[in-house]
Amino acid sequence: MCNEFFHKDETLQMRRKLIGQSCRLFFSHDPVKIVRARGQYLYDENGMQYLDCISNVQHVGHCHPSITQAAAAQMDLLNSNTRFLHDNIVLYADRLAATLPKKLCVFYFVNSGSEANDLALRLARQYTRHQDVIVLDHAYHGHLTSLIDISPYKFRKLEGQKEWVHVAPLPDTYHGIYREDHPDPGQAYADTVKSLIEEAHKKGRKISSFFAESLPSVGGQIIFPTGYCKRVAEYVREAGGVYVADEIQTGFGRVGSHFWAFQLQGEDFCPDIVTMGKPIGNGHPIACVATTEEIAAAFTANGVEYFNTFGGNPVSCAIGLAVLDVLEKEDLGGNAVRVGGHLKQLLLQLQTKHPLIGDVRGVGLFIGMELVKDRASRKPATEEAAHLVRRLKEERIVISTDGPWDSVIKFKPPMCFSIEDAERVSTCIDQILRGCLHNFYITCVLKSVVVALNNDTDSIINVVTDKIICFFLKSMFTLFSIFLQDIQQSL
């Protein structure tokens, strides 16, 4: 069944009239009107199929029958608020507890990742009796006022940094202050957090918490260096604060080898608070905060009841349970390892062909491919990344960018993404980047002509001739290298 009522142009006109313009669309120059979806595929009003590489919310696949059946069955039976006893909420909490370290055994159910992070901030402050928060540069934790205040990605465009917010360098070993050639980047980046704590103490301020995504997504699909989180947690706890792991983008098996991304840092690392959202309900609004008995007890001791009208309702918990069932029955964590590993290898192979690809990083089905204008300087190729996204859309592949310069192509597809899907994406990227190479050399020649026009005729002839020869040779060498690699792979 299709619920389309208007022509695409009419829908767009009505949206522009009725919906706030700050609520932006993908591909704003030519939005896609999606009317149905299944698995990892989206379908527009004309029945055209698009491969979805970015909907990490629809975690086990769009419109999974097990999820829709669980939702409909519970909705047909009962949906009430959580002041009545019901089995679903405790069954679901028990299932979540089995995936987490034992000390994270108390749960609060809410409706969105923003609500979860806002509650985590309240829990941290109530438990520690401290106010200040340390966050990572370019972080994003939600749209509520409290969370915009701790999201450099947002507050730098608004009122700026509050005095109680301390921004630590993003532990990015590709662009950051400590890179892959550093002997211990994890320790070096952790020491920047320690320095922030010391500076705050000198000003008479106290740290309530360190907030970080377990794998920064808006920051550019960043993979933390080994030992970073454990060291930071030690410094923060010594200062009387707690460690909050934001798993809203990365939880529920996306990294493949583990159910939670923070577990990549080792079995001896455990946050004090974990927030989860987005994939938890496969598109249904549900989210959660997990914490320790001690932190929960401090929150209760303030005498103020915490109540959330829809948080943990029977329908939401039925859906949450169904998501866990599908993850297990369909071995989607294993699929993330297999398909994500294959996709990453394909992108690494493309990196050897295309100078535009500066870095490929990721784990499971959380992968980033960073484009750069020059590998030596690592200057972000923002325009080229935008061009690649537009061209992939023309090939009916939906993808997007992230990172401080929007130069990172991000892959966070539904977990049912297949080997064939990965190969299709890789092939299209290869073809598009070959076109970019051709256009790049033409642009360079044209720029040389413009520069030469400011000189005399002889200079024009000499400069243009030299540039044409230079760029011709470079392009032929690069294309020949690509040709040889293709031959080797075919053998």
Residues 322 and 370 in one domain: no
Query: Are residues 298 and 341 located together in one domain of the fold?
Result: no
In a domain, 58, yes or no: no
pLDDT score, position 5: 80
Quote the number of domains for the chain. Answer: 2
Interval 45-68: pLDDT, tens: 999 999 999 999 999 999 999 999
Whether the model clears a pTM of 0.85, i.e. scores above it, the answer is yes
* Domain boundary pick from 308, 329, 350: 329
Residue 477 lies in a domain: no
445: confidence class by pLDDT, cuts 50, 70, 90: low
The CATH number of the domain where 419 resides is what? 3.90.1150.10
pLDDT band at 42 (very low <50, low <70, confident <90, very high): very high
> What is the predicted pLDDT for the residue at 91?
98
Residue 34 clears pLDDT 60, i.e. is over it: yes
With both helix axes pointing from N to C terminus, report the angle between 457-490 and 419-452 in degrees, rounded to the nearest 10.
170
- DSSP H or E stretch at residue 172: none
What SS3 state is found at 11? helix
Q: Does residue 420 lie in a domain region?
A: yes
Mean pLDDT, the chain, integer = 92
Per the structure, the complete domain to which residue 367 belongs is given by 333-435
pLDDT, position 270: 98
In this structure, are 283 and 415 located in the same domain? no
Indicate whether 13 belongs to any domain: no
Both 189 and 229 in one domain: the answer is yes
Q: Are residues 288 and 379 in the same domain?
A: no
Q: What is the pLDDT of residue 475?
A: 53
Once rounded to an integer, what is the mean pLDDT over residues 229-242? Answer: 99
> Is the same domain home to 219 and 255?
yes
Is the residue at 423 inside a domain?
yes
371 close to 263: Cβ distance less than 8 angstroms: no
- Over range 281-286, report the average pLDDT: 97
Using one digit for the tens of pLDDT, what is the confidence trace for 18-32?
999 889 899 888 999
pLDDT (average), residues 403-429:
98
Cα(258)–Cα(234) distance, integer angstroms: 23
* CA nearest neighbour of 343 among 436, 397, 252, 413: 413
**Comparing 256 with 24, which gets the higher pLDDT?**
256
Judge whether 348 and 485 are in contact, CB under 8 Å: no
Residue 484 lies in a domain: no
For 43-83, the DSSP string reads EETT--EEEESS--SSTT-BT-HHHHHHHHHHHHH----TT
| Among candidate residues 296, 329, 362, the one where a domain is terminated | 329
Pair 72, 149 in one domain:
yes
Query: At residue 464, does pLDDT exceed 50?
Result: no
Which is nearest to 289 in space by CA: 127, 170, 133? 127
Residues 72-84, mean pLDDT to the nearest whole number: 93
Domain boundary among 329, 349, 378: 329
Whether residues 315 and 350 share a domain: the answer is: no
Q: Give the model confidence (pLDDT) of 310-356 as tens digits.
A: 999 999 999 999 999 999 999 999 999 999 999 999 999 999 999 99
The answer to whether 357 touches 397, Cβ cutoff 8 Å, is no
> Residue 451: what pLDDT?
58
Domain with residue 125: its CATH number is: 3.40.640.10
Please tell me whether residues 358 and 320 are part of one structural domain. Answer: no
pLDDT digits (tens, 9 = 90+) for 159-211: 889 999 999 999 999 999 999 999 999 999 999 999 999 999 999 999 999 99
Q: What percent of the chain has pLDDT over 90?
A: 82
Compute the average pLDDT of residues 450-456. 59
Q: 245 lies in a domain?
A: yes
Same domain, 220 and 286: yes
Is the pLDDT at 222 greater than 90? The verdict is yes
Q: Which residue has the tokens 């669309």?
A: 25
* Host H or E run for residue 318: helix 314-329
My answer on whether 80 and 217 are in the same domain is yes
Question: Does residue 83 share a domain with residue 225?
Answer: yes
Q: Is the pLDDT of residue 99 over 50?
A: yes
**3-class secondary-structure state, position 227:** coil
Residue 301 is assigned to a structural domain of this protein: yes
Query: In the predicted model, what is the mean pLDDT of residues 242-254?
Result: 98
Give dist(CA 388, CA 339) in Å, integer: 22
When pLDDT is cut at 50, 70 and 90, the band that residue 443 belongs to is: low
The whole-angstrom separation of Cα 468 and Cα 443 is 11
